[in-house]
Protein backbone atom coordinates (compact mmCIF):
# COMPACT_ATOMS: atom_id res chain seq x y z
CA UNK A 1 0.00 0.00 0.00
CA UNK A 2 1.34 3.45 -0.92
CA UNK A 3 2.09 5.88 1.94
CA UNK A 4 -0.21 8.85 2.46
CA UNK A 5 2.45 10.99 4.12
CA UNK A 6 6.14 11.47 3.35
CA UNK A 7 8.27 11.78 6.48
CA UNK A 8 11.53 13.67 6.08
CA UNK A 9 14.89 13.74 7.85
CA UNK A 10 16.98 16.84 7.08
CA UNK A 11 20.74 16.31 7.21
CA UNK A 12 22.68 19.58 7.47
CA UNK A 13 21.17 22.64 9.17
CA UNK A 14 23.20 25.45 7.60
CA UNK A 15 21.59 28.14 5.48
CA UNK A 16 20.12 25.85 2.82
CA UNK A 17 19.10 23.24 5.39
CA UNK A 18 17.15 25.85 7.36
CA UNK A 19 15.55 27.03 4.11
CA UNK A 20 14.40 23.47 3.39
CA UNK A 21 13.10 23.05 6.94
CA UNK A 22 10.99 26.16 6.52
CA UNK A 23 9.65 25.02 3.13
CA UNK A 24 8.83 21.45 4.17
CA UNK A 25 6.15 22.96 6.44
CA UNK A 26 4.38 24.24 3.29
CA UNK A 27 4.55 21.00 1.28
CA UNK A 28 1.28 19.04 1.33
CA UNK A 29 1.51 15.46 2.61
CA UNK A 30 5.02 15.90 4.04
CA UNK A 31 6.41 16.40 7.53
CA UNK A 32 9.88 16.63 9.07
CA UNK A 33 10.54 13.97 11.70
CA UNK A 34 14.09 14.93 12.65
CA UNK A 35 17.32 16.76 11.91
CA UNK A 36 21.03 16.01 12.04
CA UNK A 37 24.08 18.23 11.82
CA UNK A 38 27.73 17.50 12.53
CA UNK A 39 27.47 20.43 14.98
CA UNK A 40 25.03 19.34 17.71
CA UNK A 41 24.25 22.91 18.79
CA UNK A 42 23.31 23.86 15.23
CA UNK A 43 21.01 20.84 14.97
CA UNK A 44 19.36 21.61 18.29
CA UNK A 45 18.83 25.24 17.37
CA UNK A 46 17.27 24.29 14.03
CA UNK A 47 15.02 21.70 15.66
CA UNK A 48 13.73 24.27 18.14
CA UNK A 49 13.25 26.96 15.52
CA UNK A 50 11.40 24.74 13.03
CA UNK A 51 9.77 22.43 15.58
CA UNK A 52 11.44 19.23 14.38
CA UNK A 53 10.56 16.51 16.91
CA UNK A 54 13.95 14.77 17.01
CA UNK A 55 17.67 15.56 16.91
CA UNK A 56 19.93 12.66 15.92
CA UNK A 57 23.38 12.11 17.39
CA UNK A 58 24.91 10.58 14.24
CA UNK A 59 24.28 10.37 10.51
CA UNK A 60 23.67 6.64 10.79
CA UNK A 61 21.03 7.18 13.46
CA UNK A 62 19.35 9.78 11.26
CA UNK A 63 19.11 7.65 8.12
CA UNK A 64 18.09 4.57 10.09
CA UNK A 65 15.02 6.20 11.66
CA UNK A 66 12.17 3.77 10.85
CA UNK A 67 9.74 6.69 10.76
CA UNK A 68 11.58 8.37 7.86
CA UNK A 69 10.80 7.88 4.18
CA UNK A 70 13.24 10.35 2.65
CA UNK A 71 16.55 11.92 3.67
CA UNK A 72 17.10 15.51 2.54
CA UNK A 73 20.88 16.09 2.27
CA UNK A 74 21.80 19.77 2.76
CA UNK A 75 25.45 19.45 3.76
CA UNK A 76 28.44 21.16 2.05
CA UNK A 77 29.28 19.77 -1.40
CA UNK A 78 32.13 17.48 -0.37
CA UNK A 79 29.87 15.64 2.09
CA UNK A 80 26.96 14.98 -0.29
CA UNK A 81 28.28 11.54 -1.21
CA UNK A 82 28.44 10.40 2.42
CA UNK A 83 24.86 11.45 3.11
CA UNK A 84 23.40 10.11 -0.14
CA UNK A 85 25.07 6.70 0.12
CA UNK A 86 24.08 6.34 3.78
CA UNK A 87 20.45 7.20 3.01
CA UNK A 88 20.16 4.79 0.09
CA UNK A 89 21.91 2.00 2.00
CA UNK A 90 19.35 2.46 4.77
CA UNK A 91 16.54 1.99 2.25
CA UNK A 92 15.44 5.64 2.18
CA UNK A 93 14.62 7.87 -0.76
CA UNK A 94 17.11 10.72 -1.05
CA UNK A 95 16.85 14.37 -2.03
CA UNK A 96 20.23 16.12 -2.29
CA UNK A 97 21.14 19.76 -2.77
CA UNK A 98 23.08 20.81 -5.85
CA UNK A 99 25.65 20.08 -7.08
CA UNK A 100 24.93 16.40 -6.53
CA UNK A 101 28.69 15.81 -6.29
CA UNK A 102 31.94 17.42 -7.37
CA UNK A 103 33.03 14.53 -9.60
CA UNK A 104 31.30 12.22 -12.05
CA UNK A 105 32.85 9.23 -10.28
CA UNK A 106 30.94 10.07 -7.12
CA UNK A 107 27.69 10.46 -9.05
CA UNK A 108 28.19 7.04 -10.61
CA UNK A 109 28.64 5.59 -7.12
CA UNK A 110 25.36 7.21 -6.14
CA UNK A 111 23.61 5.78 -9.20
CA UNK A 112 24.86 2.29 -8.34
CA UNK A 113 23.63 2.72 -4.76
CA UNK A 114 20.28 3.98 -6.03
CA UNK A 115 19.89 0.95 -8.26
CA UNK A 116 20.74 -1.42 -5.41
CA UNK A 117 18.22 0.25 -3.11
CA UNK A 118 15.37 0.65 -5.59
CA UNK A 119 14.70 4.09 -4.09
CA UNK A 120 14.46 7.54 -5.67
CA UNK A 121 17.43 9.89 -5.86
CA UNK A 122 16.85 13.52 -6.87
CA UNK A 123 19.07 16.58 -7.09
CA UNK A 124 17.36 19.76 -5.87
CA UNK A 125 17.69 21.67 -9.15
CA UNK A 126 15.04 24.11 -8.03
CA UNK A 127 15.14 26.41 -11.07
CA UNK A 128 13.46 23.70 -13.16
CA UNK A 129 10.41 23.95 -10.92
CA UNK A 130 9.89 27.70 -11.04
CA UNK A 131 6.58 28.55 -12.67
CA UNK A 132 8.33 30.54 -15.42
CA UNK A 133 10.62 27.59 -16.20
CA UNK A 134 7.71 25.17 -16.45
CA UNK A 135 5.87 27.59 -18.76
CA UNK A 136 8.91 28.05 -21.00
CA UNK A 137 9.51 24.30 -21.17
CA UNK A 138 5.94 23.84 -22.38
CA UNK A 139 6.38 26.51 -25.04
CA UNK A 140 9.61 24.93 -26.26
CA UNK A 141 7.85 21.55 -26.42
CA UNK A 142 5.26 23.25 -28.66
CA UNK A 143 8.15 24.23 -31.00
CA UNK A 144 7.88 27.97 -30.38
CA UNK A 145 11.66 28.30 -30.76
CA UNK A 146 12.20 25.76 -33.51
CA UNK A 147 15.65 24.16 -33.45
CA UNK A 148 17.71 25.55 -30.55
CA UNK A 149 21.28 25.82 -31.76
CA UNK A 150 22.93 28.18 -29.27
CA UNK A 151 22.47 29.25 -25.67
CA UNK A 152 23.97 31.49 -23.02
CA UNK A 153 23.79 30.74 -19.31
CA UNK A 154 24.92 33.43 -16.87
CA UNK A 155 24.90 33.81 -13.11
CA UNK A 156 27.17 36.74 -12.38
CA UNK A 157 27.51 38.81 -9.22
CA UNK A 158 29.37 42.03 -8.73
CA UNK A 159 30.23 41.52 -5.05
CA UNK A 160 28.29 38.67 -3.47
CA UNK A 161 30.80 36.05 -2.33
CA UNK A 162 29.84 33.68 0.48
CA UNK A 163 31.97 34.05 3.58
CA UNK A 164 31.78 30.65 5.28
CA UNK A 165 34.16 27.65 4.96
CA UNK A 166 31.36 25.56 3.45
CA UNK A 167 31.72 27.64 0.28
CA UNK A 168 35.33 28.85 0.35
CA UNK A 169 37.39 25.86 1.57
CA UNK A 170 38.09 23.10 -0.96
CA UNK A 171 37.79 20.44 1.75
CA UNK A 172 34.13 21.40 2.16
CA UNK A 173 33.03 23.09 -1.05
CA UNK A 174 35.36 21.39 -3.53
CA UNK A 175 34.57 23.99 -6.19
CA UNK A 176 33.56 27.65 -6.37
CA UNK A 177 30.83 29.62 -8.18
CA UNK A 178 30.93 27.37 -11.24
CA UNK A 179 29.48 24.57 -9.12
CA UNK A 180 27.58 26.73 -6.64
CA UNK A 181 25.56 29.02 -8.92
CA UNK A 182 26.75 28.00 -12.39
CA UNK A 183 25.26 24.55 -11.90
CA UNK A 184 21.80 26.15 -11.58
CA UNK A 185 21.78 27.88 -14.96
CA UNK A 186 23.66 25.01 -16.61
CA UNK A 187 21.07 22.48 -15.46
CA UNK A 188 18.20 24.76 -16.44
CA UNK A 189 19.70 25.32 -19.90
CA UNK A 190 20.20 21.60 -20.45
CA UNK A 191 16.65 20.94 -19.25
CA UNK A 192 15.14 23.52 -21.60
CA UNK A 193 17.27 22.35 -24.55
CA UNK A 194 16.09 18.76 -24.09
CA UNK A 195 19.36 17.39 -22.69
CA UNK A 196 21.50 17.29 -25.82
CA UNK A 197 24.54 15.02 -25.61
CA UNK A 198 27.71 17.05 -24.81
CA UNK A 199 30.86 16.10 -26.69
CA UNK A 200 33.42 18.65 -25.47
CA UNK A 201 34.00 21.61 -23.18
CA UNK A 202 36.58 24.37 -23.08
CA UNK A 203 36.85 26.30 -19.83
CA UNK A 204 38.65 28.95 -17.85
CA UNK A 205 38.61 29.73 -14.14
CA UNK A 206 40.40 32.25 -11.96
CA UNK A 207 40.49 33.98 -8.58
CA UNK A 208 41.50 37.46 -9.71
CA UNK A 209 39.72 39.49 -7.01
CA UNK A 210 39.18 37.20 -4.03
CA UNK A 211 42.78 37.30 -2.81
CA UNK A 212 43.04 41.09 -2.74
CA UNK A 213 42.95 42.59 0.75
CA UNK A 214 40.94 45.58 -0.50
CA UNK A 215 38.15 43.59 -2.17
CA UNK A 216 34.62 44.80 -1.34
CA UNK A 217 31.91 42.24 -0.61
CA UNK A 218 28.25 42.98 0.13
CA UNK A 219 27.83 39.78 2.14
CA UNK A 220 30.56 40.69 4.61
CA UNK A 221 34.28 40.24 5.01
CA UNK A 222 36.27 37.08 4.45
CA UNK A 223 39.97 36.40 4.90
CA UNK A 224 41.57 36.26 1.44
CA UNK A 225 43.93 33.59 2.78
CA UNK A 226 40.91 31.36 3.47
CA UNK A 227 39.59 31.72 -0.08
CA UNK A 228 40.61 28.47 -1.83
CA UNK A 229 38.25 28.24 -4.82
CA UNK A 230 37.80 30.29 -7.99
CA UNK A 231 35.81 33.52 -8.06
CA UNK A 232 35.06 33.24 -11.80
CA UNK A 233 34.47 30.33 -14.17
CA UNK A 234 33.36 30.18 -17.79
CA UNK A 235 33.16 27.64 -20.56
CA UNK A 236 31.85 26.69 -23.98
CA UNK A 237 30.05 23.35 -24.33
CA UNK A 238 29.61 21.69 -27.71
CA UNK A 239 26.87 19.11 -28.32
CA UNK A 240 26.62 16.15 -30.64
CA UNK A 241 23.76 17.89 -32.47
CA UNK A 242 26.04 20.79 -33.43
CA UNK A 243 24.47 23.13 -30.87
CA UNK A 244 26.58 24.97 -28.32
CA UNK A 245 26.13 26.62 -24.91
CA UNK A 246 28.26 29.22 -23.14
CA UNK A 247 28.35 29.28 -19.35
CA UNK A 248 29.57 32.07 -17.03
CA UNK A 249 29.49 32.13 -13.23
CA UNK A 250 31.07 34.50 -10.74
CA UNK A 251 30.71 35.74 -7.17
CA UNK A 252 33.08 38.69 -7.68
CA UNK A 253 33.17 40.53 -10.99
CA UNK A 254 33.69 44.18 -11.97
CA UNK A 255 30.34 44.70 -13.67
CA UNK A 256 27.63 47.38 -13.61
CA UNK A 257 24.76 45.27 -12.29
CA UNK A 258 24.72 43.82 -8.78
CA UNK A 259 23.62 40.47 -10.19
CA UNK A 260 22.61 38.97 -13.53
CA UNK A 261 20.85 35.62 -13.72
CA UNK A 262 19.94 34.75 -17.28
CA UNK A 263 19.44 31.92 -19.74
CA UNK A 264 19.08 32.98 -23.37
CA UNK A 265 18.23 30.44 -26.05
CA UNK A 266 18.47 31.05 -29.79
CA UNK A 267 16.32 28.99 -32.14
CA UNK A 268 15.41 28.95 -35.81
CA UNK A 269 11.91 30.30 -35.11
CA UNK A 270 12.56 32.58 -32.12
CA UNK A 271 14.91 33.49 -29.33
CA UNK A 272 13.92 33.74 -25.67
CA UNK A 273 15.44 35.20 -22.52
CA UNK A 274 14.73 33.68 -19.12
CA UNK A 275 13.64 34.72 -16.48
CA UNK A 276 11.52 37.51 -17.98
CA UNK A 277 10.45 35.29 -20.92
CA UNK A 278 10.99 37.91 -23.61
CA UNK A 279 10.83 36.52 -27.14
CA UNK A 280 12.36 37.87 -30.33
CA UNK A 281 11.05 36.55 -33.65
CA UNK A 282 9.86 37.48 -37.13
CA UNK A 283 6.16 37.78 -37.91
CA UNK A 284 4.71 38.71 -41.30
CA UNK A 285 8.15 39.73 -42.51
CA UNK A 286 8.90 42.13 -39.67
CA UNK A 287 10.92 41.79 -36.46
CA UNK A 288 8.74 41.44 -33.37
CA UNK A 289 9.42 41.36 -29.62
CA UNK A 290 6.90 39.76 -27.27
CA UNK A 291 6.77 38.83 -23.60
CA UNK A 292 4.93 36.38 -21.38
CA UNK A 293 3.06 38.35 -18.72
CA UNK A 294 1.73 35.48 -16.59
CA UNK A 295 3.23 32.29 -15.18
CA UNK A 296 6.33 34.10 -13.94
CA UNK A 297 6.45 32.76 -10.37
CA UNK A 298 9.81 31.78 -8.92
CA UNK A 299 9.31 29.53 -5.87
CA UNK A 300 11.32 26.67 -7.28
CA UNK A 301 12.59 25.19 -4.02
CA UNK A 302 9.07 24.52 -2.79
CA UNK A 303 8.26 23.12 -6.23
CA UNK A 304 11.21 20.74 -6.07
CA UNK A 305 10.30 19.48 -2.60
CA UNK A 306 6.68 19.06 -3.67
CA UNK A 307 7.70 17.19 -6.83
CA UNK A 308 9.79 14.74 -4.80
CA UNK A 309 6.91 14.19 -2.38
CA UNK A 310 4.43 13.56 -5.19
CA UNK A 311 6.83 11.16 -6.93
CA UNK A 312 7.20 9.09 -3.76
CA UNK A 313 3.47 9.04 -3.03
CA UNK A 314 2.59 8.30 -6.66
CA UNK A 315 5.27 5.69 -7.28
CA UNK A 316 6.73 7.83 -10.07
CA UNK A 317 10.35 8.22 -11.27
CA UNK A 318 12.67 10.88 -9.87
CA UNK A 319 11.61 14.35 -11.09
CA UNK A 320 15.31 15.04 -11.79
CA UNK A 321 16.80 11.82 -13.19
CA UNK A 322 20.25 11.25 -11.72
CA UNK A 323 21.62 10.46 -15.17
CA UNK A 324 20.86 14.07 -16.12
CA UNK A 325 22.71 15.28 -13.04
CA UNK A 326 25.63 13.07 -14.05
CA UNK A 327 25.82 14.85 -17.43
CA UNK A 328 25.76 18.26 -15.73
CA UNK A 329 28.54 17.28 -13.33
CA UNK A 330 30.61 15.78 -16.16
CA UNK A 331 30.37 19.10 -18.02
CA UNK A 332 31.50 21.05 -14.94
CA UNK A 333 34.25 18.53 -14.30
CA UNK A 334 35.43 18.98 -17.88
CA UNK A 335 35.30 22.77 -17.57
CA UNK A 336 37.61 22.75 -14.54
CA UNK A 337 39.89 20.18 -16.18
CA UNK A 338 40.13 22.35 -19.28
CA UNK A 339 40.87 25.42 -17.16
CA UNK A 340 43.71 23.57 -15.47
CA UNK A 341 45.25 22.04 -18.59
CA UNK A 342 44.53 24.84 -21.07
CA UNK A 343 43.05 22.34 -23.55
CA UNK A 344 39.61 21.32 -24.77
CA UNK A 345 38.26 18.28 -22.92
CA UNK A 346 36.39 15.60 -24.81
CA UNK A 347 33.43 14.15 -22.88
CA UNK A 348 32.85 10.42 -23.10
pLDDT of amino acid 64: 98
End-to-end CA distance of the chain: 41
Asked if 10 and 87 sit in the same domain, the reply is yes
What mean pLDDT is reported for the chain? 97
Asked if 141 and 250 sit in the same domain, the reply is yes
Note the pLDDT tens digit of each residue in 211-221. 999 999 999 99
Specify the CATH number for the domain of residue 176: 3.30.360.10
pLDDT bin (cut points 50, 70, 90) of residue 99 is: very high
Note the pLDDT tens digit of each residue in 168-189. 999 999 999 999 999 999 999 9
Q: How far apart, in whole angstroms, are the C-alpha atoms of residue 224 and residue 212?
A: 7
pLDDT of amino acid 4: 87
Note the pLDDT tens digit of each residue in 105-146. 999 999 999 999 999 999 999 999 999 999 999 999 999 999
307 in a structural domain: no
Put residue 277 in one of left, alpha, beta given phi > 0 → left and psi -120 to 50 → alpha. left
pLDDT of amino acid 3: 62
Query: Is it the case that residue 32 has pLDDT exceeding 50?
Result: yes
In this prediction, residues 296-317 reach a mean pLDDT of 96
Report which of 326, 343, 332, 338 is spatially closest to residue 106, judged by C-alpha positions. 326
Query: Is it the case that residue 240 has pLDDT exceeding 80?
Result: yes
pLDDT of amino acid 2: 54
324 in a structural domain: no
- Which residue did the predictor score with more confidence, 169 or 3? 169
Asked if 36 and 179 sit in the same domain, the reply is no
Expressed as residue numbers, the domain containing 68 is: 6-124
Asked if 55 and 199 sit in the same domain, the reply is no
pLDDT of amino acid 94: 98
pLDDT bin (cut points 50, 70, 90) of residue 327 is: very high
Q: Which percentage of the chain shows pLDDT scores above 70?
A: 99
pLDDT bin (cut points 50, 70, 90) of residue 348 is: confident
318 in a structural domain: no
pLDDT of amino acid 67: 96
CB contact at 8 A, 50 and 17: no
In this prediction, residues 335-342 reach a mean pLDDT of 98
In this prediction, residues 241-268 reach a mean pLDDT of 98
Task: Give the end of a domain, one of 76, 93, 124.
Answer: 124
Number of domains in the chain: 2
Asked if 164 and 50 sit in the same domain, the reply is no
In this prediction, residues 46-65 reach a mean pLDDT of 98
Report which of 53, 51, 111 is spatially closest to residue 81, judged by C-alpha positions. 111
pLDDT of amino acid 344: 98
pLDDT of amino acid 1: 45
Task: Give the end of a domain, one of 68, 94, 124.
Answer: 124
218 in a structural domain: yes
Three-state DSSP string of the chain = CCCCCEEEEEECCCHHHHHHHHHHCCCCCEEEEEEECCCHHHHHHHHHHHCCCCECCCHHHHHCCCCCCEEEECCCHHHHHHHHHHHHHCCCEEEEECCCCCCHHHHHHHHHHHHHHCCCEEEECHHHHCHHHHHHHHHHHCCCCCCEEEEEEEEEECECCCCCHHHHCCCCCCCCHHHHCHHHHHHHHHHHHCCCCEEEEEEEEECCCCCCCCCCCCCCCCCHHHCCCCCEEEEEEEECCCCEEEEEEECECCCCCCEEEEEEEEECCEEEEECCCEEEEEECCEEEEEECCCCCCCCHHHHHHHHHHHHHHHCCCCCCCHHHHHHHHHHHHHHHHHHHHCCCEECC
Amino acid sequence: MKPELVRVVVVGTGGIGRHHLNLWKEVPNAEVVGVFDILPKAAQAAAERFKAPKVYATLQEAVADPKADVVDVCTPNMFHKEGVLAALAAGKHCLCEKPLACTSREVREMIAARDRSGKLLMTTQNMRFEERSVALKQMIAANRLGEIYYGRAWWLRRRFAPTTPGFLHKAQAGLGPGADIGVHVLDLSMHLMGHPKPVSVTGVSAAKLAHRPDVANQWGRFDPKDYEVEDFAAGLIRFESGAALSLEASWLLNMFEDEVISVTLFGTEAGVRWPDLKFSHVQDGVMVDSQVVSKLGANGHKGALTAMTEAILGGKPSPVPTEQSLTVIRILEGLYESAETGREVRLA
